[in-house]
């Protein structure tokens, strides 16, 4: 099937998984750069949560509606609708707080000189509401679909192990935990205290997965 040469959509036509995040990149299946939008429910809400860009991305923020205060490394910037805020240095700590309800900010980002990769938080955006609701079967189904597209993701493997442990699927949980730990040591450490894995902690195979090679 040939991809369309062009597409259009209004922001309010893009499905919102949690009411505030507008997954523009996913809607169009954009592969060259990240682009998403966030909408504040009320005055005083964070529109852009405080963070630095560990991904190495440069980011451009565009206030499309309402008004926000950006804080960049402690410096406050008033940003009414129509304002562009470019953050070149990924290490810059940034956040944006809405001064009006329904303030909307579009964020565009990518790493200079590098091929774009979808970030882990975006892959997981649909997982957290299912997990928090205790629907572990649906959460696992979401992760399995995500792993089909990205089978090497240690984070997807680790969280699959957690859901499988909660569902009593011990063998699968142990195998996915092993794969996650082999790919990234941080998941070996996380497994030591993660209560989601308590159901498999007494299995004789579990301690060996925590050993540093």
Residue 1 pLDDT exceeds 70: no
Task: Show the domains of the chain with their CATH numbers.
Answer: 11-110 (2.60.120.10), 120-209 (1.25.40.10)
Q: Is the pLDDT of residue 108 over 70?
A: yes
Give the per-residue pLDDT at 60. Answer: 98
Mean pLDDT of 66-94: 98
Looking at residue 138, its pLDDT comes to 95
Give pTM, 2 decimals. Answer: 0.73
Which structure tokens are listed for 163? Answer: 């859901």
* 161-209 pLDDT tens trace: 999 999 999 999 999 999 999 999 999 999 999 999 999 999 999 999 9
Residue 123: its pLDDT value, please? 78
């Amino acid at each position: 099937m040939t991809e369309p040469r062009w597409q259009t959509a209004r922001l309010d036509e893009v499905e919102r998984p949690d009411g505030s995040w507008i997954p523009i990149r996913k809607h169009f299946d954009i592969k060259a750069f990240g682009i998403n939008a966030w909408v504040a429910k009320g005055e005083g809400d964070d529109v852009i949560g405080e963070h630095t860009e560990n991904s190495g991305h440069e980011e451009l923020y565009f206030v499309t509606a309402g008004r926000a205060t950006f804080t960049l490394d402690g410096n406050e910037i008033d940003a009414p609708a129509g304002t562009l805020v470019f953050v070149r240095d990924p290490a810059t700590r940034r956040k944006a707080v809405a001064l009006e309800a329904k303030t909307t900010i579009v964020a565009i980002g990518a790493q200079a000189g590098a091929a774009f990769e979808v970030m882990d938080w975006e892959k997981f955006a649909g997982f957290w509401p299912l997990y928090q609701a205790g629907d572990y079967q649906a959460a696992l189904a979401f992760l399995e679909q995500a792993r089909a597209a990205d089978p090497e993701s240690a984070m997807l493997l680790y969280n699959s192990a957690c859901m499988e442990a909660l569902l009593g699927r011990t063998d699968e949980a142990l195998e996915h935990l092993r794969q996650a730990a082999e790919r990234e040591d941080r998941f070996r450490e996380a497994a030591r205290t993660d209560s989601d894995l308590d159901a498999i902690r007494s299995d004789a195979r579990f301690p060996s997965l925590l050993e540093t090679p």
